[in-house]
Structure 1
C-alpha cells in the first residue's frame, strides 16, 4: 500500500469517527427533546455566537431528526 493510500484511509477513518461522534450527540439531543414536558421552553443557539433564542419545541425536534438523518446518510456514503 502506498503512503498516499494510507493517508487516505487514515483521513477516512477520522471522518467516520467524527461523524459517529456527531450522530451520538444528535441522538442525545433528540432524546432530551423527546422527554421534555410539553410546557417546557426550548432555546436554540445562534451560530457562532453565545446568543440563545426561544424556539418551538416541535420544530426543533423535527430539525434535529433531519440533521440525524443527514448525518447517517453521510456516514453511509463514505
Structure 2
C-alpha cells in the first residue's frame, strides 16, 4: 500500500472520530441547557451505565457533571 493511501485512510478515520465527537458535544449541550432551565423543585434521574435502571439524582450535581464532561469533550476535540 502506498504512503499516500495510508495517509488518506488516517485522515478519513480522524475525520470520522471528529464527526462522532461533534455529535456527542451537541447532545451534551442540549442536556446542559435542559438541566439549566429546570425549575429548582424538579426531579432529575440519571441512567446507570449499560443498564435500563434510572436513579434519582441531585439536579445541581448532575448539571455540574454534565458541564465538566462537555468541557472535556471540547478540549479533546481541540487537541485533535
> TM-score with structure 2 length normalisation?
0.95
| Structure 1 residue ranges (4+ consecutive) displaced by more than 2 angstroms after TM superposition | none
Corresponding residue number in structure 2 for 1:15: 17
Larger Cα Rg: Structure 1 or Structure 2?
2
| 1-structure distance, mates of 2:24, 2:73 | 8
Equivalence for 2:33:
31
CA RMSD of aligned residues (A): 0.8
TM-score, normalising length from structure 1? Answer: 0.98
Matched length: 78
CA distance in 2, matches of 1:47, 1:38: 26
Instruction: Structure 1: give runs of 5+ residues left out of the alignment.
Output: none
Higher relative contact order (CA 8 A, sep 6+): 1
